[in-house]
Chains A and B, each alone.
Chain A
Amino acid sequence: MSSMDERATSAQGQGKAPKFIPPRERFLELRGTISSKWAIILGILGMIAFFAIWEGGHYITPEAQQRFLPSVEQVIGTIVQLLSEKDYFSDVMISCYRIYLSFFAACALAVPLGVFMGCFIRLRALINPTVGGLRYLPAASFVPLLLVWFGPTDFSKLALLFLGCVFFLTALVLDNAMAVPKELIESAMTMGAKRRQVVFGVIWRAASPAIIDSMRNMIAISWTYLVIAEIVAATDGIGAVMMRGGRFLHVDIIMGGILTIGILGVLTDIAFRLVRRTVVPWAYVRRG
């Protein structure tokens, strides 16, 4: 009888189940898990490390050259000084206006064009080879051309920023539209959907989260073109301020400009994520 009890049975157990302590995750755990609190802490640590390296670099530089690598607080002090004394804020606003106006103009052309190319093979055959080729032209190479055509005007800067992202964005949106599953389109068609309903009701809707991601990635590229656009014959904007600083070897102003662009870029990215969450909430729904 007693030997029967010792035998393993598949009945419901009695008393306490053995305690199990999962192995601790290592710092480099493969595909590990992380709490949101720790994710934020590590993110901030990374940033602190970046500024610490910068700061350390400043202090190990021989004093005679220290002005070529100003410290973090000097750069921040320069930004504050520019803001209070040189009306830096209006330069920042002008740069933002250039970025956003040119970017949304590029979107207004590239997004519909990409979607239609993804929908209609003949449009794709007509346009894609040209647009695909134009992507390889460096935006900077348009500078002399735009200067000859439009002079040192605001328009030539907007045009450069526009050209810098319109072709890439078209190609990305084309991929987004083509990535919509064939079955989604076919099932709409077997429900009686006509062409217009498939284009706007299915492909456009299904691709929209990916299109917003493409736009977010593209506006980051747009920020990288800002300085090129404002280098030439610009009197205002972050890029112009930096160029002026460079002419008088004011490294703190140059680095202040870089830091400003970095901060604005991060803010833009956050704004796009928020927009995506409100515009396509369904893209965040997960099971369980």
Chain B
Amino acid sequence: MILEKRKKRKDLNAAAVAAAAGREAGEAPIKANRITKEYLGGQVVALDDVTLEIRENEVTAFIGPSGCGKTTMLRLMAGLEYPTRGEVSMYGQQIRGPGPERGMVFQAYTSMPWLSVFDNIEYGMKIQGVPKEERRARAEHFLKLVHLDDFSKAYPAELSGGMKQRVAIARTLAQNPDLLLLDEPFGALDAQVTWEMEEMVIEIIGSENKTVVLVTHDIQESIYLADRIIFFTRQPGKIKEDIAMDFKNGKRFARKEELLSQPGYVDMERKLYAMMREEIQGRIS
């Protein structure tokens, strides 16, 4: 039993060492190389020969109409699905399954209902065999970071949707991933809570320095959070455009309204709406 645990830690360490080596060598955090993903034996082509690279410490947003393969691409990065052709690699290592170095926040609520908020945040670290002292300290840190210190003993069923997603974000950060994958994390929340959560994400990205990939269908959200937006077309999913958020001059705004008065914002939003309309109407007609 103990030997087994040790071996597991060693495996995890081996993955971490390989990742560190790849990072030293200048490999991208994620590289998707000529990815094609087909469903129903080729009847649906979710992704068609897509190549892209995620850059270190950047927030990349995937956006596009429903069914454009943006979530599929994220799930391939998480290792929850496999490509039909091509390969996804992390720091040069081919991704062959999920792992704790790629933390994911889902749109659906994924807190374990039998664990308290605190235990939920500790859960990932427990699986990885992080020693108890360190686990507690880190859980407390992230609990504060998502402003849930008063709810540490509550069960998920007692929390609002926004709070549940904050638990999910804290838990994912606590497992100390190199890459944070967010799959429409605020899709089920109402507008005002979404807005609060977006500002919290900006705050966290600033303090934790993570490479983030965000899937969203919300144009404003993508402009606010991302340093770079990759726009996908619908079936077959291809990259329509890879757009740098240069108008922000590398700034991240603590308050969303600051973004609205930034020169170039309106043009960016108009551009994305136009692209979205083009995609949707191209389908309907």
Q: Which of B103, B109, B113, B159 has the most CB of A within 10 A?
A: B113
User: Which residues of chain B in 219-258 are interfacial with respect to chain A, using CB atoms and an 8 Å cutoff?
Assistant: none
| Interface presence of B91 (CB below 8 A) | no
Task: Name which of A85-93, A118-126, A178-186 contacts chain B.
Answer: A178-186
Quick check: A193 and B127 within 8 Å, CB to CB?
yes
Among the listed B102, B106, B123, B158, which residue makes an inter-chain contact with A287, where contact means beta carbons less than 8 Å apart?
B158
Q: Which of A190, A194, A287 has the most CB of B within 10 A?
A: A190
Quick check: B112 and A190 within 8 Å, CB to CB?
no
| Interface presence of B8 (CB below 8 A) | yes
| Interface 1/0 per residue, B62-96 and A, CB below 8 Å | 00000000000000001110000000000000000
Task: Name which of A16-24, A25-33, A147-155, A278-286 contacts chain B.
Answer: A278-286
Provide the main secondary structure of the chain B interface: loop
Number of A residues near B (Cβ < 8 Å) is 23
Quick check: A191 and B112 within 8 Å, CB to CB?
no
| Interface presence of A189 (CB below 8 A) | yes
Among the listed B79, B99, B110, B157, which residue makes an inter-chain contact with A285, where contact means beta carbons less than 8 Å apart?
B157
By a CB distance below 8 angstroms, the chain B residues around A285 are 155, 157-158
Number of B residues near A (Cβ < 8 Å) is 33
| Interface presence of A258 (CB below 8 A) | no
Rounded to whole angstroms, the CA-CA distance of A181 and B100 in the bound complex is: 20
| Interface presence of A235 (CB below 8 A) | no
| Interface presence of A220 (CB below 8 A) | no
Q: How many Å from the CB of B79 to the closest CB on chain A?
A: 8
Among the listed A181, A183, A186, A197, which residue makes an inter-chain contact with B98, where contact means beta carbons less than 8 Å apart?
A186
By a CB distance below 8 angstroms, the chain A residues around B114 are 205-206, 280, 282
Quick check: A189 and B112 within 8 Å, CB to CB?
no
Q: Which of B100, B114, B160, B171 has the most CB of A within 10 A?
A: B114
Among the listed B99, B108, B157, B168, which residue makes an inter-chain contact with A192, where contact means beta carbons less than 8 Å apart?
B99
User: Which residues of chain B in 155-199 are interfacial with respect to chain A, using CB atoms and an 8 Å cutoff?
Assistant: 155, 157-160, 168, 171-172, 175, 181
| Interface presence of B202 (CB below 8 A) | no
By a CB distance below 8 angstroms, the chain B residues around A192 are 12, 98-100, 124, 127-128, 175
User: Which residue from chain A places its CB closest to the CB of B160 in the assembled complex?
Assistant: A287
Q: Given A183-B110, A206-B113, A287-B160, do A190 and B127 touch, yes or no (CB 8 Å)?
A: no
By a CB distance below 8 angstroms, the chain B residues around A186 are 78, 80, 98, 104, 106, 110
By a CB distance below 8 angstroms, the chain A residues around B181 are 190
Quick check: B159 and A191 within 8 Å, CB to CB?
no
Quick check: A184 and B99 within 8 Å, CB to CB?
no
Q: Given A183-B108, A202-B112, A283-B113, do A191 and B100 touch, yes or no (CB 8 Å)?
A: yes
Quick check: A190 and B103 within 8 Å, CB to CB?
yes
User: Which residue from chain A places its CB closest to the CB of B15 in the assembled complex?
Assistant: A192
Interface residues of B (CB under 8 A from A): 8, 12, 78-80, 97-100, 102-104, 106, 108-110, 112-114, 123-124, 127-128, 155, 157-160, 168, 171-172, 175, 181
